[in-house]
């Protein structure tokens, strides 16, 4: 089997998340081994007895898979026979999951930062995936949400005592429904007013980007 074919077989058996592989190429014939080392020079091979050691890096730094294949093709072209084997492999580190509080907890934390006389809020619920949008819209329907263009988010209003907007308790319950169904995301208070007094109106009006909300 050619060295290129051996590498392809090794590569096919590597774990899906591999990042680095250490290879050993055994060339029993000393003169041919010296020639192989010269042809593999771009990969900076090491030597251990009758073996040449080289590293393959999948992430772009160092010698990549295609570069190793091209180098081994040179050896095959000069009919240098040998046995290629995998010594070790390293899997890419997985990014740590960022733990987010559940939505109901996030809501309670946001409310806790407000002054005690808060009266009206403009809030935004952002979900982590477009897969959540339709189900979320249904579960938070009592909040009368509106979609935010260009974002995976809804905006809604809340009112503590009276006026236009869902009560804090209703808001919490709607967010608990999302938590119960595994919807991930975050909730934020965008604007807040305190101690408002509505006169012949359902509540204050905010203007966001020239539009009343």
3-state secondary structure 173-186: HHHHHHHHCCCCEE
**CA-to-CA distance for 68 and 96, rounded, in angstroms?**
31
Task: Show the CA angle centred on residue 185, arms to residues 183 and 188, nearest 5°.
Answer: 135
The arithmetic mean of pLDDT across residues 148-167, rounded, is: 87
In this structure, the number of other CB atoms found within 10 A of the CB of residue 204 comes to 17
The predicted structure's pLDDT at residue 92 = 67
pLDDT in the model for residue 202: 58
Q: For residue 207, how many C-alpha atoms fall within 13 Å in the half-sphere facing its CB?
A: 2
Instruction: List domains and CATH numbers for the chain.
Output: 3-91 (3.30.70), 103-201 (3.30.70)
Lowest mean pLDDT among 50-54, 63-67, 97-101: 97-101
Instruction: Determine the pLDDT at residue 164.
Output: 77
Tell me if residue 35 falls in helix, strand or coil.
helix
Model pLDDT, residue 90:
86
CA–CA distance, 8 with 68 (Å, rounded to integer): 10
Name which of 9, 97, 16 is nearest 58 in CA terms: 16
| Secondary structure E strands in 33-165 | 46-48, 51-57, 83-91, 118-127, 146-147, 153-159
Average confidence score pLDDT of the chain: 86
Q: Is residue 23 within 8 Å of residue 56, measured between CB atoms?
A: yes
Q: Which of 101-110, 116-125, 156-165 has the weakest average pLDDT? A: 156-165
Q: For residue 211, what pLDDT is reported?
A: 65
| Banded model confidence at residue 97, pLDDT cuts 50, 70, 90 | very low
In this prediction, residue 209 carries a pLDDT of: 61
Asked if residue 99 has pLDDT above 60, the reply is no
97 or 175, greater pLDDT: 175
pLDDT for 64 beyond 90? no
**For the ranges 42-51, 61-70, 103-112, 146-155, which has the lowest average pLDDT?**
61-70
CA distance 73 to 35: 14
């Amino acid at each position: 089997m050619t060295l290129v074919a051996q590498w392809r077989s090794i590569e096919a058996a590597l774990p899906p998340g591999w990042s680095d592989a250490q290879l050993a190429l055994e060339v029993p014939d000393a003169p041919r081994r010296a020639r192989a080392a010269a042809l593999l020079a771009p990969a900076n091979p090491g030597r251990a007895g009758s073996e040449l050691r080289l590293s393959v890096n999948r992430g772009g730094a160092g010698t990549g898979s295609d570069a190793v294949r091209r180098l081994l093709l040179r050896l095959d072209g000069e009919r240098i026979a040998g046995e290629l084997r995998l010594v070790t492999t390293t899997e890419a580190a997985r990014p740590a999951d960022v733990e987010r509080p559940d939505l109901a907890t996030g809501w309670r934390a946001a409310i806790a930062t407000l002054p005690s006389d808060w009266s009206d809020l403009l809030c935004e619920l952002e979900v982590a995936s477009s897969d959540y949008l339709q189900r979320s819209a249904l579960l938070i329907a009592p909040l009368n949400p509106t979609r935010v263009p260009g974002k995976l988010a809804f905006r809604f209003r809340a009112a503590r005592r009276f006026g236009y907007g869902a009560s804090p308790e209703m808001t919490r319950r709607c967010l608990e429904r999302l938590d119960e169904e595994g919807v991930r995301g975050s909730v934020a208070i965008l604007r807040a007013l305190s101690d408002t007094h509505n006169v012949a109106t359902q509540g204050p009006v905010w203007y966001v980007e020239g539009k009343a909300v």
